[in-house]
A and B are shown apart, each in its own frame.
Chain A
Amino acid sequence: MIKIDSISKEYLMGDNKLLALNNINVSISDGEFVAIMGSSGSGKSTLMNIIGCLDVPSSGDYFFKDDNISKFTANKLAELRNKEIGFIFQNFNLLPRLNALENVVLPLLYSGKNQKERNNLALKALEDVGLKDRIHHRPNQLSGGQQQRVSIARAIAGSPKLILADEPTGALDSKTSIEIMTILNNLNAKGITLVLVTHEDDIAKYGSRIIKMKDGQIIEDKKNVSN
Chain B
Amino acid sequence: MSLTDLIYLSQKSLRSNILRSVLTSLGIIIGVSSVITMISIGSGARQEVEEQIERFGSNNLILRSQSSSNRGVSMGVNSINTLTLKDMEALKNELPAISAIAPRVSLSTQIIANGNNWLATVTGTTNDYFNLGNWKFELGRSFQDDELDSGSRVAIIGKTVQKNLFGTDSPIDEVIRINKVPFTVIGLLDAKGGTAWADLDDTIVVPLKTAKQRLVAKKFPGDQIRSMTINVSSSDLLFKTEKDIDTVMRKLHKISANGNPDFVIRNYAQFLNARQESSRVMSILLATVAGISLIVGGIGIMNIMLVTVTERTKEIGVCMSVGAKKRDILLQFLIESLMISLIGGLIGIGLGLGVIFGVSEYFNWKMSLDYMSLVLSFVFSSSIGIIFGFYPARKAANLNPIDALRYE
Contacts and interface: CB of A to CB of B under 8 A. Distances in A.
23 contacts: A54-B405, A75-B325, A75-B327, A78-B324, A79-B325, A81-B321, A81-B322, A82-B323, A93-B318, A93-B405, A95-B315, A97-B12, A97-B16, A98-B12, A106-B319, A107-B322, A109-B5, A110-B322, A110-B323, A110-B328, A112-B2, A154-B322, A158-B323
B320 interface: yes
**Nearest 9 interchain pairs by C-beta:** A82-B323, A107-B322, A110-B323, A55-B402, A78-B325, A54-B402, A93-B318, A54-B401, A75-B325
B16 A112 contact: no
A110 B325 contact: yes
Interface string A25-42: 000000000000000000
Interface in B297-324: 314-315, 317-324
A110 B324 CA distance: 6
A22 interface: no
A162 B347 CA distance: 49
Interface string A95-120: 10110000000110111100000000
Chain B binding surface, main DSSP class: helix
Given A54-B401, A54-B402, A109-B5, A87 B321 contact: yes
Interface residues of A, number: 25
A95 B9 CA distance: 11
Contacts of B324: 78, 110
Nearest to A94: B318
Nearest to B15: A97
A112 B1 contact: yes
A54 B402 CA distance: 5
A43 interface: no
Contacts of B315: 95
B114 interface: no
B323 A78 contact: yes
Contacts of A110: 1, 319, 322-325, 328
Most buried by A among B314, B317, B327, B402: B402
A49 to B, nearest CB: 5
B213 interface: no
A81 B321 CA distance: 7
B323 A83 contact: yes
A82 B12 contact: no
B12 A78 contact: no
B134 interface: no
A55 B406 CA distance: 12
A112 B325 CA distance: 12
A57 interface: no
Contact of A111 (B319, B323, B402, B405): B323
A142 interface: no
Interface string B131-146: 0000000000000000
Interface in B1-36: 1-2, 5, 12-13, 16
A140 to B, nearest CB: 12
Interface string A10-36: 000000000000000000000000000
Contacts of A168: none
A150 to B, nearest CB: 12
A93 B401 contact: no
B394 interface: no
Contact of A49 (B5, B319, B320, B402): B402
Contacts of A54: 320-321, 401-402, 405
Contact of B326 (A74, A112, A154): A74
A52 interface: yes
A158 B322 CA distance: 10
B323 A95 contact: no
Contacts of B5: 109
Contacts of A83: 323
A97 B13 contact: yes
Contacts of A52: 321
Contacts of A112: 1-2
Contact of A75 (B318, B319, B326): B326
A109 B13 contact: no
Contacts of B327: 75
Interface string B366-408: 0000000000000000000000000000000000011001000
Contacts of B318: 93-95
Nearest to A50: B402
A112 B323 CA distance: 11
Contacts of B321: 52, 54, 81, 87, 93
B402 A81 contact: no
A53 B322 CA distance: 11
A160 B107 CA distance: 99
Most buried by A among B12, B314, B318, B324: B318
A39 B5 CA distance: 42
